[in-house]
Every structure is written in C-alpha cells, then in structure tokens.
Amino acid sequence: MFEHCPAIAEQVKLALGDEALSISVQERAQWFSCYFTTKKHLSIFRAAGVVLLILAFTVPVALLLGFLGALGKASRWPVISQICSLYVIMVRGIPDIIFFLFVPLTIEIGIEYVMHSFVYCRDSAEPFFNGINIQPCSEAAIIPTQFNRIVLAVVAYGIVFGSFAANIIDGALKAVPFGQRETGSAFGLSQRQVFFDIHLPQMWRYALPGFSNLWLILIKATPLLFLLGIQDIIYYADLLGKMATRRYSTYPHGDWKLWYFIALGIFYLALTMLSQLVFTRLERRFNKGMVINETTSGRV
C-alpha cells in the first residue's frame, strides 16, 4: 500500500539538502501519509488508546470505592464510619501526585514482601527489609511491565477519585427528600427495597453534575501517567515533535512540538465535548418525569 514511501522519503531528503530542488504538493501529501504511518509514529495512537483504556477501567473502580466510602460514612457502626471518613478526608487532603507515587510503590512492596516471606524465599537468610533498604529475592522481585503499570495506574486513580466520588454520592443520597423514602416504608417496602427502588434511582440526578466535573478532572489528570513510567501521549508528542535531522531520521522535519501539542489539545477538547454530550443525555434520562424539567430546571 505504501511502496512509494522509501522513494519519497529519499526525494524529500535530497530536496531539503539542495535548495534548487522543489517538492510538489502531491509529494508532500505522500510524505505525510508515510510519516504518520511509521511504526514509531503509530505509538502515539496506541498511547491514546492506553489513556482511554485506563479511563474506562478507572471509572468502575472509583464508583465502587465511592459507594463503599459514602455508605460506610453513614454506617451505624462507628468503626466503619470513622475509617471511611478518614479515607475520604485523607485522600482529598493530600496532593494527588503523592498518591500517584505512593500507592503503586506500596502495592509493589507489599506484593514483593508476601512473595519473599511466604512463597518463594521462606528459607532465605536474607531479610526483606535491610535497614531502610528493600531487598526481595530475585524470584519475588516484580519486573515492571506496561501491563503492571496500567493496573497500578487504575488502582491509584481509583483510590484518589473514589474519595471525591464518595463525597458526591454522600451529598446526593442526602439530597433525596426523606418524605419519599418514608412513603415507601409506609407502603410496606423493606429498607432494602426503599434504597434500591426509591433512594438510589433518584440519587443519580443529584450526583450527575458532580460526576461530570469529576470525570473532566480525571481526564485532565491523565498526563500524570508519566509518573508511573507509562509512555502516554504527552511523552510521544514531545518525542515525535522534536527536530528530526536528515542524518538520523528517514523522515526529517523541524521542531514540530507546537503542532503536536495543538493536536493534543484538540484531542482532549473533543473528548471533553463528547463527555459533555453524554452527561447531558444522562441528565435528561434521570430527570425524566421530574418537575424540574419544566418549571425549576435552573435556567433563567
């Protein structure tokens, strides 16, 4: 399909080295078609897919932790309530960047400790903790891979944004009028039925605005993936946008980082606009049949 690529690349190289030679529009188009389909350049598209994959898996993890945190805060048992309240306060109060470094590191050390002490090296004379140094045996040491980093990223994002989701869910649950829940009990519904049939469905319309903001913040937090060693689209935009010389590159070009980062801005803006459309449809779905649709929608 792209048999012309080696020839057009060499032709452009010659033209760049000799000002007397000119390059036609068709040749430039062919050059760009080859440039954007090189193995090295396709990595930025794979990185965009990795970002979307991490976002897709982070949402259910954050929602699960958010529901557990919100329900735990309202628990009748003081121990559970205090633990969940501490989780929400602690994670929201500590900068995100610290958790993105601390959580994956803690998980790795914990897994290596279990493998070292109870699986592979139970009879080893070498201790796992040697002063302040950590020395797992070779069998217990975790070899960092892209898959491991992605899993750790999902866990780290889930823990951080789960605490924010817990606060949103807690406020949304409290916003549902108590009279409606009381009416359900009066009709003979059990506490479980009242929660799942009345309380939970109405909670969503109060929680969606907060979830919309949280989702957009999560999207904007994806550039922090480089802290976990994941080569994301920011990394590749910086790498591919640097000047490529005729000597070291098949497709030489100048400093194009500006255009790469403009393209990244368009990518994130398009993702934001698409997300806003989805949340608008969800709000209409959950507000269907409510009085606020006609008279008290909040619009002036």
Q: Which residues of 123-152 are buried (b: 16+ CB within 10 A; e: fewer)?
A: eeeeebeeeeeeebeeebeeeeeeebbbeb
Which secondary-structure segment (H or E) carries 130?
strand 129-130
Q: Which pLDDT score is estimated for 11?
A: 58
φ, ψ dihedrals at 229, nearest 5°:
80, 15
Q: pLDDT for 194-244, tens place per residue?
A: 888 888 888 888 999 999 999 999 998 888 887 777 888 888 888 888 888
Q: pLDDT for 11-38, tens place per residue?
A: 566 555 544 445 677 777 877 888 888 8
Q: pLDDT for 149-205, tens place per residue?
A: 888 889 989 998 999 999 999 999 888 888 877 888 888 888 888 888 888 888 888
Q: Is the distance from CB of 141 to CB of 112 less than 8 angstroms? A: yes
Q: Which pLDDT score is estimated for 291?
A: 55
Q: Which pLDDT score is estimated for 192?
A: 84
Q: Which pLDDT score is estimated for 239?
A: 87
CA pair distance 88, 82, nearest whole angstrom: 10
User: Structural domain boundaries of the chain?
Assistant: 1-37+232-262, 60-231
Q: Is the distance from CB of 290 to CB of 206 less than 8 angstroms? A: no
Q: Which pLDDT score is estimated for 296?
A: 46
Closest C-alpha among 275, 278, 283, 277 to residue 207: 283
Q: Is the distance from CB of 233 to CB of 53 less than 8 angstroms? A: no
Closest C-alpha among 118, 201, 103, 106 to residue 154: 103
Write out the CATH class of domain 60-231.
mainly alpha
Q: pLDDT for 46-95, tens place per residue?
A: 888 999 999 999 999 999 999 999 999 888 888 999 998 898 888 877 88
Question: Please, which pLDDT band fits residue 7 given cuts at 50, 70 and 90?
Answer: low
Question: Please, which pLDDT band fits residue 279 given cuts at 50, 70 and 90?
Answer: very high
What single DSSP character describes residue 196? I
Residue 299 has pLDDT above 70, yes or no: no
Q: Which pLDDT score is estimated for 1?
A: 46
Q: Which pLDDT score is estimated for 298?
A: 43
Total count of residues recorded for the chain: 300
Q: pLDDT for 101-147, tens place per residue?
A: 888 888 888 888 888 888 777 777 677 777 777 878 777 777 778 88
